[in-house]
Amino acid sequence: MIFTAGQIAGILEGEVEGNPEITVHKLAKIEDGEKGALTFLSNPKYTPYIYTTKASITIVNKDFVAEQSVLTTLIKVDDAYESFSKLLKYYDLTKTLKSGIEEPVFISESATYGKNIYLAAFSYIGDNVVLGDDVKIYPNVYIGNNAVLANGVVVHSGAKIHSETHIGNNCVIHSGAIVGADGFGFAPGEDGVFSKIPQTGNVILEDDVDVGANTTIDRATMGSTILRKGVKLDNQIQIAHNVEIGEHTVIAAQTGVAGSTKIGKHCLVGGQVGIAGHITIGDHVRIQAQSGVGRNVRNGEKLQGSPALNFGDYYKSYVHFKNLPSIVDQINELDKKNN
């Protein structure tokens, strides 16, 4: 899409300094700006680029004063970084303003849907599915029987929403994610053969949950696997059966959470963390990347390592880890003297 400086200033409630009719159709970093590009300046260390950038329009703070001539048209706002982020959201919204039902799709006769929905080609909507207003379903999406998607839900291409799943308002499910597949439940018999335990529960995502690409969330054995309001999951995460994650917790890529574990509110979990099953992690916990957590964790703890230790204890111990070779040499020297 093409925007003029005047239009952008109107969206951001800013002031144009330069040509209000100049247009842009793409975004760029200030050092890589070229004709037709929009950029921004908020970090002072990038100020020199304002005088050399070829970007057509640059968003700057209102207190910016040029010390030499600039070729780019300026839009002055209260906070350049915040305004640029706002513009990105607006731009993203304009790209997703789709509605209607493409062909071919399959929609069960018992499914119902609200206003202004978008169903892309090759999507499948099963029996008794309920879709709210402004739902966007992209190509090759599967929505299983009895699933409920509330208002404003977006499901990107190739995602699978299995039966009985309930998804709250304004959730986003990214490409390749699988929500509501069977949990990993098998019981060993006397002969050592494992038999499948039926997984009869479901998955509940409350409002404003984001599920990253290729992330999997298993249905509960009984009851529900629950992600509370505002949870954000990165790509390639495994959430096992009967897990519960508290409000506004954020988990980075390649983390695995084993079955029946409870994670509290406002936690931050780094990448490649392994969390054992049937434990409880409190609120406001911080877990560093590649940690292994196998015990209950109190509110506010900071953990690192495998098995994970208190963050401060880990770094105190790490000093000694690094010195182990010299410590061993000293011990060997003492042994020689004693012998």
Q: What is the pLDDT of residues 37-90, one digit of tens each?
A: 999 999 999 999 999 999 999 999 999 999 999 999 999 999 999 999 888 887
Cα distance between residue 77 and residue 181, in whole Å:
47
Position 70 in a domain? yes
Position 208 in a domain? yes
pLDDT for residue 96 is more than 70: no
Sorting pLDDT into bands at 50, 70 and 90, what band is 334? confident
Domain check: are 159 and 214 in the same one? yes
Give the CATH number of the domain where residue 133 resides: 2.160.10.10
Q: 95, 115, 135 — which closes off a domain?
A: 95
Domain check: are 125 and 60 in the same one? no
Residue from 113, 146, 108, 135 nearest 124 by CA:
108
pLDDT value, residue 322: 77
Position 332 in a domain? no
Domain check: are 177 and 251 in the same one? yes
Q: 67, 95, 123 — which closes off a domain?
A: 95
Domain check: are 254 and 282 in the same one? yes
pLDDT value, residue 120: 96
* Structural domains counted in the chain: 2
Pair 161, 179: CB distance under 8 Å: yes
| Out of 71-75, 116-120, 165-169, 313-317, least confident range | 313-317
pLDDT value, residue 87: 86
Pair 156, 173: CB distance under 8 Å: yes
Phi then psi dihedrals of residue 95, to 5 deg:
-75, -25
Type of residue at 10: G
Pair 303, 315: CB distance under 8 Å: no
Position 279 in a domain? yes
Position 323 in a domain? no
Query: pLDDT over 70 for what percent of the chain?
Result: 99
Domain check: are 210 and 129 in the same one? yes
> Tokens 């739902």 identify what position?
135
Full-model pTM = 0.79
Contacts 24+ apart (CB under 8 A), 99-106: none
Domain check: are 167 and 52 in the same one? no
- Bridge partners of 24, per DSSP, are 3
Give catalytic residues, as residue numbers: 241
Domain of 54, in residue numbers? 3-95
- Bridge partners of 224, per DSSP, are 202
Sorting pLDDT into bands at 50, 70 and 90, what band is 335? confident
Domain check: are 44 and 80 in the same one? yes
pLDDT in tens, 195-251: 999 999 999 999 999 999 999 999 999 999 999 999 999 999 999 999 999 999 999
DSSP SS3 for 39: strand
Position 322 in a domain? no
Type of residue at 151: N
Pair 244, 264: CB distance under 8 Å: no
Residue from 11, 30, 7, 33 nearest 20 by CA:
7
Domain check: are 172 and 224 in the same one? yes
Pair 168, 211: CB distance under 8 Å: no
Give the CATH number of the domain where residue 72 resides: 3.40.1390.10
Domain check: are 86 and 152 in the same one? no
Position 333 in a domain? no
Q: What is the mean pLDDT of the chain?
A: 93
pLDDT for residue 321 is more than 80: no
pLDDT in tens, 268-285: 999 999 999 999 999 999
pLDDT value, residue 273: 98
pLDDT value, residue 316: 79
Q: 70, 95, 120 — which closes off a domain?
A: 95
pLDDT value, residue 123: 97
Domain check: are 59 and 124 in the same one? no
pLDDT for residue 25 is more than 70: yes
Position 207 in a domain? yes
Cα distance between residue 58 and residue 171, in whole Å:
32
Domain check: are 178 and 263 in the same one? yes
Residue from 212, 209, 215, 184 nearest 198 by CA:
184
Q: Which residues contact 99 (CB under 8 A, 6 or more apart)?
A: 116, 117, 118
Domain check: are 104 and 91 in the same one? no
Cα distance between residue 210 and residue 201, in whole Å:
21
